[in-house]
Amino acid sequence: MEESQAISRPQRASDYPGRQMDCIAALRPAVSDLAATSQESIVAAMGGELTDDLLALARRAEAAGWTFEEASAAIEELAREYEGAKGTIFD
């Protein structure tokens, strides 16, 4: 996976209201890029599995200050969001 999308850091190291939403926002551009190049990763994420590309993304998020659990949950949510948005084009 190309590492072109920077992942922003959390506002604080400790928990705070809206932290998971911030994590989702931080990962959205990278997941969007991945969705364009690796549909199988998106399908896997919807099932709670992490492909090598997604695992690398979660580790990059960890390096930026997010927990692995936060990153994994954000990736799964973004994958579902992406698939839901894709489906609305044909509705």
pTM of the model: 0.84
> What are the backbone dihedrals phi and psi of residue 16, each rounded to the nearest 5 degrees, phi first?
-155, 155
Task: Supply the DSSP symbol for 26.
Answer: H
pLDDT in tens, the chain (91 residues): 445 679 999 999 999 999 999 999 999 999 999 888 888 888 888 888 899 999 999 999 999 999 999 999 999 999 999 877 655 444 4
In whole angstroms, what is the distance from residue 60 CA to residue 71 CA? 9
Q: Where along the chain do its domains lie?
A: 19-88
